[in-house]
Chain A
Amino acid sequence: MSLATTQSVAEIKARNKQLIDEVLKVYPEKTAKRRAKHLNVHEAGKSDCGVKSNLKSIPGVMTIRGCAYAGSKGVVWGPIKDMIHISHGPVGCGQYSWAARRNYYIGTTGIDTFVTMQFTSDFQEKDIVFGGDKKLAKIIDEIQELFPLNHGITIQSECPIGLIGDDIEAVSKVKSKEYEGKTIVPVRCEGFRGVSQSLGHHIANDAVRDWIFDKISPEAKPTFEPTPYDVAIIGDYNIGGDAWSSRILLEEMGLRVIAQWSGDGSLAELEATPKAKLNVLHCYRSMNYISRHMEEKFGIPWCEYNFFGPSKIAESLRKIASFFDDKIKEGAERVIAKYQPLMDAVIAKYRPRLEGKTVMLFVGGLRPRHVIGAYEDLGMEVVGTGYEFGHNDDYQRTAQHYVKDGTLIYDDVTGYEFERFVEKIQPDLVGSGIKEKYVFQKMGVPFRQMHSWDYSGPYHGYDGFAIFARDMDMAINSPIWKKTKAPWKDAPRPSLMAAE
């Protein structure tokens, strides 16, 4: 039986507060003061989780965060499959982010599709000294010659680009003109900008606005015949096929998905989006910016949704349907009813094995809150959560819709804090990333990577929930966790004690 179910909320709150005090003791005073603002125990009824967020990480701690380049190239732009994304600068950033995020897509890689490739300007010392603009222009020429079916190019700036003052915008404009108005997008996502990958998302969104939307005349006719039911999926990166197991539900309820952002996405879909009747937004953190922009400029409403676990899926399908007529509302009910037997079977199979188990999360984007419903559908409880790069509005959404009284909250958790928290709370499962996975497994705590789905997935939608449930069961109930302590390390057997 987990700790959480045997203790009262008051006891849990007291313990969590004490835990926070304990981890802060190890820091120098100035650091402890700064970190204290990011750790808290949630109080029911409060409008947010009571932590500061989106502030600089502290030097010398093991932050889990990435950088603006990771947010732009790694998250937002990289999955756009028919464009070539140049990692502009030294070789490393592109290499480490090469095909690491499992953004599934369909296409002929290297010919008309380029997601799992690493294009880089591989900056050398001379490029730093003399600037890289000429090299960039030449790279674009070489891309045009060797990859003629690309639909567009983006330039993803790495740290040195901004520091040495290269004018990638000018190069983009000149080359775009030279190639008959080809879409060439410069993105100023240097890694030192902002405090995490979050600013990279914002910058990437702004680049879509400035270099794609602004090129399209508002009167231009779409390439397809519009219908009243056209929607766009925003903020789904198709990790392990997430956007596909989501899209199928929207289509089954009678909507037509005209664009997917950005997993399995294409330039044509980006361009089509301003013609949508509604933008449905999964990862609020990474793409609320462009959704707000489309609302202001094109009058397209947007609505957040959550496709983790049957409770939230049903709620979300109804919410999305509420923007449309009865046909779609009936469609939503039909879809919910269709998948109910599958969900009943999944829950009947896995809930008995997972009931009462506790989880601690630490992920990016929307997941520190969105997956809570899916765990609850399986009878599990999330006892601690926090965001890598969340903002205050993420913590508001978390407090108002997801977490329970007494939940431990840790923003931009340091490796040190996370280890101590898990050690003391002893959850039955930790959900975080690759950098955390092996730390906790060594400690004997079951773990699932909640960025990459631990190379499994999809986890979105009804089809994805079956996989989610199975994966959580396999992680928690794997027989290996009963063996982490060698049997001879247990309490000595009576016979041996007698012999002493």
Chain B
Amino acid sequence: MTQNAEHVLDHFELFRGPEYQQMLANKKALFENPHDPAEVERIREWAKTPEYREKNFAREALTVNPAKACQPLGAVFVAVGFEGTLPFVHGSQGCVAYYRSHLSRHFKEPSSCVSSSMTEDAAVFGGLNNMIDGLANTYNMYKPKMIAVSTTCMAEVIGDDLNAFIKTSKEKGSVPAEYDVPFAHTPAFVGSHVTGYDNALKGIIEHFWDGKAGTAPKLERKPNEKINFIGGFDGYTVGNIREMKRIFELMGIEYTILADNSDVFDTPTDGEFRMYDGGTTLEDAANAIHAKATISMQQYCTEKTLPFIGGHGQEVVAFNHPIGVGATDELLMTLSRIAGKPIAKALEQERGRLLDAMADSSAHIHGKKFAIYGDPDLCYGLAAFLLELGAEPTHVLSTNGNKGWAEKMQQLFDSSPFGQNCHAYPGKDLWHMRSLLFTEPVDFLIGNTYGKYLERDTGTPLIRIGFPVFDRHHHHRYPVWGYQGGMNVLVKILDKIFDEIDKNTNVPAKTDYSFDIIR
């Protein structure tokens, strides 16, 4: 018997016992119709070859292990960033179960969201009744200050018109006429979660600025000294937004964070469940029209939002997930210029400390080859930081990156001697990455949790940075933006490098001559 009450064996150990091993071997041999092990081995080796890579890259229809999700996820992510706001997804309910699970698995936090539970009858007759009943139920039960509506692919295919539906619902008394119900169409077959972020944020801002879907006069801009700040879809939203608030406060800048979901994804355990916590107040969302400028940390998350805001008379600036010294310099100088405030001494010192850390450690990173995958802005920010460290971001792959993104990546590569042999791969997936790692190996891989399969198959050590990170805890609490954030990223990379060196040097009497205690 394998199990033991004194020392209970988990699945890790339990099934390695001889009885289980024998059972599994019998199952395979007798009942699974397995391929000849030699054939499995042959195909396994073949899948590592340039020939396989060529076939793999010739794929036109099939997607395998993509690094992107769908629009409504981004819309839900945005909605919870507003005070007392409940996301309401118009479409089938299963999708909402998925968004909530996905966010909860990453943040280890509750994720609240409702749907209009459309089923077959709604597919035939449209989902108007679901919207009418749904808004009324949500409003009565969860008492939100605002309900932010987005759609699933189902509602989009049948062509439900949110503007008209919400209007009718208000007429039927589901919610009061003046109640805020901003909306965005977020079809899952267009773009990705990043597009959904953009559409939903634009929808909410538009609602407040442009007359609440025809129910109020449009706001008139009266410029003030504030700066609006948009984080973009970001797995580090808790750490990053708080870090940015600290920076704003250090510099004495008046700011409004648009879609500030840092608190709702980080509520305390103290005996109370907070369905809503923190968030941009609705007043601030409306008043954001008066700001001097809006800064987006992620260009590809705000492709529609920024022009919309710009169109209302503000300066708009987009960054690409700034990570490291140069990118943070640029961010701070931009903030300083726009706000007319000097860069705080404390930040200057932090800059020096980050450079100090890079000087201490870059020898271990210099010349190392990296593969990166993730959202287009994150890939850009990480690649730029690696170039600063003298590393080569050899393969940079973004399933939801487009041609424009690839060109921008190329310009980045061209700007550095370390970028010479680097390539950007827009629209490719992690099965493409697998071929890249086999045929043009690199030293380290940076990406989200799904990369652990690549780490296992190709032996490329994985540094987890991105979304989602399911299998490591609490990364989202640590910023990657600002000089402090750069420090966190540097440490994350170095820890993996040192772990690998230790793993490669720990065989007694064989490799352990360089199993050093000082590095």
Contact = CB atoms under 8 A, between A and B. Distances in A.
Given A106-B28, A118-B64, A192-B122, A62 B10 contact: no
A136 B61 CA distance: 8
B97 A82 contact: no
A158 interface: yes
Interface in B6-51: 6, 8-11, 14-15, 19-20, 23-24, 27-28, 30-35, 39-40, 43-44, 47
A260 B32 CA distance: 10
B46 to A, nearest CB: 9
Nearest to A345: B5
B257 interface: no
Contact of B65 (A117, A136, A268): A117
Interface in B257-293: 267-274
Interface stretch (A92-100, A202-210, A353-361): A92-100
| Size category of the binding interface on chain A | 35 or more
A340 B111 CA distance: 43
A26 interface: yes
Contact of B450 (A98, A339, A415, A457): A98
Contacts of B140: 26-28, 31
Contacts of B135: 60
Interface string A182-202: 000000000111110100000
Contact of A100 (B101, B109, B272, B431): B101
B112 interface: yes
A127 B189 contact: yes
Given A124-B189, A124-B190, A159 B14 contact: no
Given A27-B137, A419-B273, A195 B119 contact: yes
A292 interface: no
Contact of A95 (B34, B35, B70, B270): B70
Given A435-B101, A443-B272, A59 B133 contact: yes
B480 to A, nearest CB: 23
Interface residues of B, number: 110
Contacts of B270: 442, 444, 484-486
B163 interface: no
B95 interface: yes
Nearest to B173: A28
Contact of A160 (B61, B118, B153): B153
B488 interface: no
Contact of B271 (A95, A193, A458, A485): A485
A226 B140 CA distance: 62
Interface in A73-94: 82, 89-93
B11 A91 contact: no
Interface in A466-480: 466-467, 469-470, 480
A163 B157 contact: yes
B102 A96 contact: yes
B152 interface: yes
B69 interface: yes
Given A59-B133, A435-B97, A442 B11 contact: no
Contacts of B73: 92
A247 interface: yes
Given A67-B95, A438-B108, A117 B269 contact: no
B31 A58 contact: no
Contacts of B376: none
Given A28-B136, A128-B157, A160-B154, A91 B192 contact: yes
Interface stretch (A46-54, A142-150, A173-181): A142-150
A204 B113 CA distance: 28
Contacts of B64: 117-120, 146
Contacts of A444: 269-271
Most A Cβ at <10 Å: residue of B4, B20, B136, B271: B271
Given A26-B140, A191-B154, A90 B66 contact: no
A279 to B, nearest CB: 15
Interface string B110-131: 1111111111101100000011
A71 B187 CA distance: 23
A268 B35 CA distance: 12
A152 B76 CA distance: 36
A69 B94 contact: yes
B135 to A, nearest CB: 6
B139 to A, nearest CB: 8
B457 interface: yes
Given A160-B154, A240-B11, A68 B94 contact: yes
B273 A118 contact: no
Interface string A394-437: 00000000000000000000111001000000000000011101
B189 A160 contact: yes
A466 B3 contact: yes
B93 A63 contact: yes
A35 to B, nearest CB: 10
Most B Cβ at <10 Å: residue of A91, A112, A469, A486: A91
A237 B32 CA distance: 16
B108 to A, nearest CB: 7
A104 B14 CA distance: 13
A2 B321 CA distance: 51
A108 B94 contact: no
A419 B457 CA distance: 43
Most B Cβ at <10 Å: residue of A95, A119, A248: A95
Interface stretch (B52-60, B227-235, B297-305, B381-389): B52-60
A236 interface: no
B137 A31 contact: yes
A89 B137 CA distance: 30
A438 B104 contact: yes
Interface in B120-170: 120, 122-123, 130-131, 133-142, 152-154, 157-158
A64 B62 CA distance: 32
A149 B153 contact: no
B92 interface: yes
Interface string A100-144: 100010101111100011111111110110000001101100110
A97 B94 CA distance: 11
A66 interface: yes
A315 interface: no
Interface in A3-62: 26-28, 30-31, 56-62
Nearest to A120: B63
A305 interface: no
Contacts of A108: 40, 44
B99 interface: yes
A122 B189 CA distance: 7
Contacts of A65: 93-94, 97
A414 B63 contact: no
Contact of A467 (B8, B39, B154): B8
Given A240-B11, A463-B2, A112 B63 contact: no
Most A Cβ at <10 Å: residue of B11, B44, B104, B269: B11
A456 B8 CA distance: 12
Given A121-B61, A138-B60, A159-B152, A96 B24 contact: no
A365 interface: no
B457 to A, nearest CB: 7
A193 B120 contact: yes
A341 to B, nearest CB: 9
Contacts of A162: 123
B105 interface: yes
Given A125-B187, A224-B31, A346-B5, A435 B111 contact: yes
CB-based closest 5 A-B pairs: A67-B94, A92-B70, A60-B134, A59-B134, A268-B33
Given A60-B116, A268-B33, A462-B3, 15 more contacts: A60-B117, A61-B137, A61-B138, A63-B115, A67-B95, A98-B450, A118-B66, A120-B66, A142-B59, A146-B55, A223-B33, A241-B11, A338-B1, A470-B8, A484-B269
19 contacts: A31-B133, A59-B118, A61-B141, A64-B97, A65-B97, A125-B189, A138-B61, A145-B55, A159-B157, A160-B153, A162-B123, A191-B94, A197-B94, A258-B30, A272-B31, A435-B100, A438-B104, A441-B269, A484-B270
